[in-house]
Structure 1
Amino acid sequence: MKQNQPPIFPQPDRQLLEALSSGFAERQVTVDGGAQVAYRSGGTSGPAIVLLHGISSGAASWLPCASLLAAQARVIAWDAPGYGNSTPLAQQRPLASDYAQRLDGMLQALAVQPALIVGHSLGALMAAAYVANARNLPARLLLLSVAQGYGAAGKEAQAQQVAQQRLAALDTLGVQGLAQRGPARLLSELADAGAQSWVRWNMQRLNPDGYRQAVAMLCGDDIDRYLSRRPPSLPTRIACGSHDVVTTPLACGTLAERFDLPLALIPDAGHACYIEQAAATARLIRSALPETAA
């Protein structure tokens, strides 16, 4: 290998990619205003579970977990605006509520009434914004490895630092460079080669402009403003990987305590818990479904 040649990492198993095409194929829907939303769907009957990915991922990343749910549920994972083939938002510095409005448009276009919305990382912030204003509330809400945002008063310096670090890394390393270092941050030291290659494969598909928009949202919004407005009757749970170094168990536990919500830890999982421990996360998701739907 030449000195400056980037390392070559193993690709995901061929059977995984074939399952992505056959059982979790991409579809698109047009929402009000003409924007396109790309999403993946598995299963044809049962309760509707809507999966929202985080800042460094996409709809396809949910495949290992979604495939375990599809026999009992209709599973829908979107590509957030600016990700995959989904139209970016018009705002240069969008809020979580802007993503939530696009999510509402997708669910309205698909005529889906979610039994459960699951938001991971930045997707948890989007999910919280959705339930704060939704026309059609889900029956339950599950927030995994919660990115809480840096938009609250007093966090200005931290927000600026996080934005500078993330955008500088994108400009310096590019999407491919971010993808190569992704597993070290998003997975625990226990993660196998399959989980590592899946994280890289999905990160390699990031759209730089969509990522920049998401960074602006992360640094300009705050989950408390949405969770404080969620309907009191909406059952809500928080969970986190026991080895998560991004949205740590301590941070997720503090959020859960602040809003008097139950907290669960997923053993032997880092930040991307639904990739590293797909079976355990699928069990957690099933347990979060309404009893009549589970």
Structure 2
Amino acid sequence: MIATPVQGRVSTRLGEVAYIRAGRGPSLVMLHGNGHSWHEFAPALDALAARWDVIAWDMPGHGDSDDVTAPPSIEAYAGSLADLIAALGLRRPALLGSSVGAFIAASHAAGGGEVSAVVLDEMQFRTRDWWLAAWPRVEQMFGQAEQPLEAVQPRFNRVVDTELLDRWNRERVRTGAAGLVGVMAAIRDFDLAAALAKLDLPCLLLFGADGPTVDRAEALAAALPGSTTAVVPEAGHFISLDQPAAFAAAVTHFLLDHMETTPP
């Protein structure tokens, strides 16, 4: 890694949140998926930090951030994000959210957060009925924090080596099974359609060609008229880990076309 991230912590309504910051330019805030940390974006950090002031958090209850006392809603996570943005004095940053991070980004932007552009990475655009039907499988996937290689490898296109498997399990165990399931319940219970209807800013919808959300790409695009869709070949749900160069290129191309380019 060429970019040397600076580590920091800020106080938010969900406790202290840890973050890393690297690069210079307009600000890009990155929000990882359930059971992970800012390291989800580590392979793409150098490429993104070459053009952007990259801030990647550990969402509350994850990584080096404080624990949460009860499973927060997506709106509560978005409130914590708003506190982070305010504490760092960011002016109209772009947001990039992966999986649950995409929900948090959409909630913040829909709630009036001043944002230049949003990247919704691998967003599960599903109905509540779909979630209720899928819930037994969701509990099976997230109800046990530590997973063997045979359960993890199918979620990636790249080979899951010892280093990735160790980090995967270390970060999931840190969040805990109750925390992991709580995040999924927050996704299930969030009124995504209502939030998307309020978004009136440039949006990139990013999908892995082999991921679990690409089947909803057209439906999500229809819910966000004027949005841009990009599908990354040979990538699953974790595009930044499967195809970091293509991930960074898609994000950079979109932001150069749509984001305010005056640094904060």
TM-score category (smaller protein): 0.7 to 0.9
In structure 2, the residue matched to 1:24 is 5
In structure 2, the residue matched to 1:140 is 117
Distance (Å, rounded) in 2 between the aligned partners of 1:98 and 1:34: 8
Using the TM superposition, give the Cα deviation of residue 159 of structure 1 relative to its aligned residue in structure 2, in angstroms.
Answer: 5.3
TM-score (norm 2): 0.86
In structure 2, the residue matched to 1:76 is 55
Over the aligned positions, Cα root-mean-square deviation in angstroms equals 2.5
Is the 2:193–2:223 contact (alpha carbons within 8 Å) kept by the matching residues of 1?
no
In structure 1, the residue matched to 2:74 is 96
**Does the alignment pair 1:254 with 2:219?**
yes
In structure 1, the residue matched to 2:245 is 279
The unaligned stretches of length 5 or more in structure 2 are none
In structure 1, the residue matched to 2:147 is 177
In structure 1, the residue matched to 2:140 is 165
Which deviations, in whole Å up to 9, do the C-alpha atoms of 1:181-235 show, x marking residues without a partner?
Answer: 45423212xx1456x74365144222104323212212322421211122x2x11
Q: Which has the larger radius of gyration?
A: 1
In structure 1, the residue matched to 2:45 is 66
Identity %: 23
Which one-letter code corresponds to 2:210 in the other structure? H
3-state SS of paired residue (2:147): helix
**Does the alignment pair 1:37 with 2:3?**
no
Using the TM superposition, give the Cα deviation of residue 36 of structure 1 relative to its aligned residue in structure 2, in angstroms.
Answer: 0.1
Distance (Å, rounded) in 2 between the aligned partners of 1:25 and 1:176: 29
State the number of aligned residues: 256
Q: 1:176-195 alignment to 2 at 5 Å?
A: 176-177=146-147, 180-181=149-150, 183-188=152-157, 191-192=158-159
Distance (Å, rounded) in 2 between the aligned partners of 1:79 and 1:157: 28
Which one-letter code corresponds to 1:95 in the other structure? S
Distance (Å, rounded) in 1 between the aligned partners of 2:38 and 2:151: 17
3-state SS of paired residue (2:82): helix
3-state SS of paired residue (2:35): coil
Change (3 A) 1:283 1:125: same
TM-score (norm 1): 0.78
**Does the alignment pair 1:238 with 2:205?**
yes
In structure 1, the residue matched to 2:104 is 126
The unaligned stretches of length 5 or more in structure 1 are 1-15
Is the 1:183–1:200 contact (alpha carbons within 8 Å) kept by the matching residues of 2?
no
Change (3 A) 1:122 1:267: same
Change (3 A) 1:199 1:116: farther
